[in-house]
Amino acid sequence: MSENHDHHNQSGLIAFLGSMAFVFVFFIYIVFINKGVTLDEKVQDAAPVGAPKFELASVKDPWNGAPEVITAGQKLYKANCAMCHGEKGDLVGGIPNARNFTKDPWKQGDGIINHFKVVQNGIPGTQMASFKASLKPYERWAILSFIETLAAKKSTDKPEDVAAFAAKAE
């Protein structure tokens, strides 16, 4: 009987066993040692301890641009709009054909009433989707209050017209 003296095969076996040992140790680390990420972590609000928590749903007129509404709108904007329009509404990090709130003209009409209709219904033939099903009216108003702080051209709608429209808006 002749012995196999293929040193290349022996090196392959050693590399294979070494990589298997690494995978085994890595598996043990991931499963038993590493704590990992828990999905039930509570994110702390910036509000001081004991301060009443702001509830956007309880605001009677979320189109008024109150500081708390704008802050809530900013959070909603980041979650729903920033991926297309950019973090600051300037398309940085967004998609090229989206609206730049800091300088572009409004294509669907000026005023926060028309802007609400766009957020509610979307713009057919574009990437602007309707948020009617995914955002409640007060959330849409809050987002628009935040966008108004970014916009180069501010809304010219009269507050009483906005209130009348909002009373019947879905």
Q: How far apart are CA 67 and CA 56, in angstroms?
A: 11
Tell me, what's the pLDDT at 7?
61
For the stretch 65-115, pLDDT in tens is 889 999 999 999 999 999 999 999 888 888 888 888 888 777 888 888 989
pTM exceeds 0.75 for this model? no
Tell me, what's the pLDDT at 109?
83
Tell me, what's the pLDDT at 37?
65
Decide which of 57 and 146 is more confident: 146
- Strand runs (DSSP E) across 5-153, as ranges? none
For the stretch 145-165, pLDDT in tens is 999 998 887 888 888 998 899
Contacts of 71 (CB under 8 A, 6+ apart): 54
Tell me, what's the pLDDT at 39?
62
**Confidence check: pLDDT of 4 > 70:** no
Domain assignments of the chain as residue spans, ordered by start? 56-168
Mean pLDDT of the chain: 84
Tell me, what's the pLDDT at 92?
85
Contacts of 82 (CB under 8 A, 6+ apart): 93, 94
Q: Looking at domain 56-168, what is its CATH homologous superfamily?
A: Cytochrome c-like domain (1.10.760.10)
Q: Which residue has the tokens 């972590």?
A: 41
